[in-house]
Amino acid sequence: MSARLHLVRHGQTPSNVAGALDTALPGAPLTELGREQAVLVGQELAESGIAPTVVMSSEAARARETAGLIAAQMDGLPTLAVPGMYEVQAGRYEMQTGARALLAYNRLIRDWLEEGDLTASLPDGESALDVRDRTMPLVAELRESYLDNGIDVVLVVHGAVMRMMSVFAGAVPSQWALTNHIANCGVIELAPDGGGWSCERWGDHLGRPTF
């Protein structure tokens, strides 16, 4: 099996429990359940037979902590926080809870994925084009430096941004990414496919999802 990019959503945080839009760095740490989730996904990845040389993450506290717990299950691999992989920014809605804030954030993702309006953004937030420009160069670099040399990559990131990255890579249709959210410590597995990418796992969908 060829080397693959394993995008892992971080474990549960107090902000997840409260329904808060926690997107700015450094963000909240993990809850006890979140730490348990990270250990379990680390065990699963270790038992799958993949052989990364490092567990990477965004710079957010929850992603770093998740990466460390995963790495501990994989023979104590080193971890590395990389810039540019933070969550889609909530702008003025940062740390807000309640229906109005969540509706605005979810509407933005819908505008990107269903309406194709990649320039839309929240006040003081970012557009889909901004997200693409900060994430996809790293994806290309990981492919060239690791996957093309037969080395698997584990990258701990965030729910919305990992769905957007999968769409940008051409691995899944926009509507699939809009409809199928990723739970805490859920995994999206992307494999090089010619000059593009294929999706081999999406959350609980093991094996290539049927679109």
- pTM assigned to the model: 0.95
Which residue range is the domain that position 142 belongs to?
A: 5-205
Name the burial class of residue 93, with classes exposed (0-12), middle (13-18) and buried (19+) by CB atoms within 10 angstroms of its CB: buried
CATH code for the domain in which residue 71 is found: 3.40.50.1240
| Domain total in the chain | 1
Instruction: Name the nearest CA neighbour of 108 among 92, 124, 127, 95.
Output: 127
211 assigned to some structural domain: no
198 assigned to some structural domain: yes
pLDDT over threshold 70, residue 206: no
65 assigned to some structural domain: yes
127 assigned to some structural domain: yes
pLDDT over threshold 80, residue 110: yes
210 assigned to some structural domain: no
95 assigned to some structural domain: yes
9 assigned to some structural domain: yes
Asked if omega into 83 is within 30° of 0 (cis), the reply is no
DSSP state letters, 99-122: HHHHHHHHHHHHHHHTS--TT---
Which residues have a Cβ under 8 Å from the Cβ of 179 and sit 6 or more positions away?
none
Express each pLDDT in 31-47 by its tens digit: 999 999 999 999 999 99
194 assigned to some structural domain: yes
